[in-house]
Amino acid sequence: AQRVTQPEKLLSVFKGAPVELKCNYSYSGSPELFWYVQYSRQRLQLLLRHISRESIKGFTADLNKGETSFHLKKPFAQEEDSAMYYCALRPFYNQGGKLIFGQGTELSVKP
Amino acid sequence: NAGVTQTPKFQVLKTGQSMTLQCAQDMNHNSMYWYRQDPGMGLRLIYYSASEGTTDKGEVPNGYNVSRLNKREFSLRLESAAPSQTSVYFCASSPTAGAGELFFGEGSRLTVL
């Protein structure tokens, strides 16, 4: 079965510290992976996708097919990074374009 | 630039009552989705519509029905609400079924007493 697992419900770090939000997936084919973010009182929005290989707001994520992981990293966390982060998977041959989301990790960056 | 608009934003129902959540997008997207968000469960897909005229079940369709009224609108109906349906509901759209990015509405918080 296709599944996305985010093992940490809450991650708390101090400003300036490195942050890594973990995401593991189970899928036998080649998935497309995403990170979505939901800031307080804002709608869920795309942060980055593995295909584009870009860095957004200092965040990067590398798809590791061997470990079936897509961890989100930032070297120096900022207070404005505090939000709910969701990892999501879209199976390559998916018919409906639907995304399968993980449980979410709440990131709290303390001053 | 409205994007995806959901109504109502808040609703309280009694067990057994029915209601419809409305969703409309103005981006000329083909695909639309309904998710529910519960603490510790993430977002789970209820129903989706890959294109106008088609609808399919997602992960948790029981107790819900949907209607793709036209290309812009995708409604979610609870025929007989149950406390287990207390949740935040999100509508989303994407340009095509194969396009990965979903654009979300602001959410509708539903409480069933």
CA dihedral B96, B102, B108, B112 (to 10 degrees): 80
B42 and A90 within 8 Å at the Cβ level: the answer is no
- Tell me, what DSSP letter sits at residue A64? B
In this predicted structure, what is the pLDDT of residue B31?
93
Amino acid in position B86: T
What distance lies between CA B9 and its chain's CA centroid?
12
- Confidence grade of residue A65 (pLDDT, cut at 50, 70, 90): confident
- Confidence grade of residue A54 (pLDDT, cut at 50, 70, 90): confident
A97 and B50 within 8 Å at the Cβ level: the answer is yes
User: Which of B104, B106, B108 to mutate against chain A (most A CBs within 10 Å)?
Assistant: B104
Strands A72-74 and A19-21: antiparallel
CA-CA distances (angstroms) from residue A5 to A37, A104, A108? Answer: 16, 9, 19
- Confidence grade of residue A97 (pLDDT, cut at 50, 70, 90): confident
In this predicted structure, what is the pLDDT of residue A29?
78
Report the SS3 class of residue B78: strand
Angle at alpha carbon of residue A101, lines to A35 and B94, rounded to 5°: 75
Cα–Cα distance measured from residue A95 to residue B56, given in angstroms and rounded to the nearest whole number: 10
Of B42, B56, B90, the CB nearest to A96: B56
Cα–Cα distance measured from residue A83 to residue A56, given in angstroms and rounded to the nearest whole number: 15
Å from A81 to nearest chain B CA?
19
Contact list, B101 vs chain A (CB under 8 Å) = 34, 46, 49
Å from A2 to nearest chain B CA?
11
In this predicted structure, what is the pLDDT of residue A95?
60
Amino acid in position B41: M
- Confidence grade of residue A62 (pLDDT, cut at 50, 70, 90): confident
Spatial contact of B82 and B68, defined as CB atoms under 8 Å apart: no
In this predicted structure, what is the pLDDT of residue A94?
63
